[in-house]
């Protein structure tokens, strides 16, 4: 009976957050109500729905409050690889690269073979021109899944830049 009441409460919170999101365009309130779901024992689908609303709130114009809520998720759910990964992705999108790196590393502390975190971390390091560090993550991603195109591209690009330097000269067609 307690579980049934809890599930009813969670469904109510999710519905309320959807109303704020879809009908009222109040993205911070949508994120706040969705975050409340994560304060109760919840299943994977409920967590996924709450994360989708929180992430959507940020994309649609939610303020830093929505981002702070998302970051709290990572602190609350220390076993949630997806929570850490999504928090990293959102921080990257907002150009908070140091925080993004921290969240990707937290995801890898929970599951060292999380491919999306390995590739994302390598990509940020490549963007920061830390090619030697990027190579390490892309190589490990290739060990996890040697058919992954993103990690192969990142590895190749990082190795090339390590060997050739970061300044790539365009071909001068006039002298060709």
Rounded-to-integer distance, Cα 112 and Cα 75, Å: 18
Rounded-to-integer distance, Cα 83 and Cα 173, Å: 49
Model confidence pTM above 0.75: no
Q: Please say if the pLDDT value at position 105 is more than 80.
A: yes
pLDDT confidence band for 126 (50 / 70 / 90)? very high
Q: Please say if the pLDDT value at position 3 is more than 70.
A: yes
On the CB side of 127, how many CA atoms lie within 13 Å of its CA? Answer: 13
149 contacts: CB under 8 Å, gap ≥ 6? none
Find, among 37, 31, 26, the residue nearest to 90 by Cα: 31
Helix (H) or strand (E) holding 16: helix 2-18
Q: What is the tens place of the pLDDT at every residue in 152-173?
A: 999 999 999 888 765 554 444 4
- 8 Å CB contact between 39 and 74: no
Find, among 17, 110, 167, 140, the residue nearest to 120 by Cα: 140
């Amino acid at each position: 009976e307690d579980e049934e009441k809890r599930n009813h409460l969670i469904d109510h919170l999710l519905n309320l957050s959807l109303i704020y999101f879809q009908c009222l365009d109040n993205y911070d309130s949508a994120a706040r109500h969705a975050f409340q779901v994560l304060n109760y024992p919840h299943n994977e689908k409920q967590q996924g729905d709450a994360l989708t609303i929180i992430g959507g709130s940020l994309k649609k114009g939610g303020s830093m409050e929505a981002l702070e809520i998302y970051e709290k998720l990572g602190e609350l759910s220390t076993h949630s690889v997806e929570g850490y990964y999504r928090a990293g992705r959102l921080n990257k999108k907002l150009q908070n690269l140091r925080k993004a790196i921290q969240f990707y590393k937290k995801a890898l502390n929970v599951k060292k073979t999380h491919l999306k975190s390995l590739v994302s971390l390598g990509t940020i390091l490549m963007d920061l021109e830390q090619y030697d560090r990027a190579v390490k993550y892309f190589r490990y991603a290739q060990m996890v899944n040697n058919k992954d195109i993103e990690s192969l591209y990142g590895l190749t690009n990082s190795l090339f830049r390590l060997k050739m330097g970061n300044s790539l000269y365009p071909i001068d067609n006039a002298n060709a």
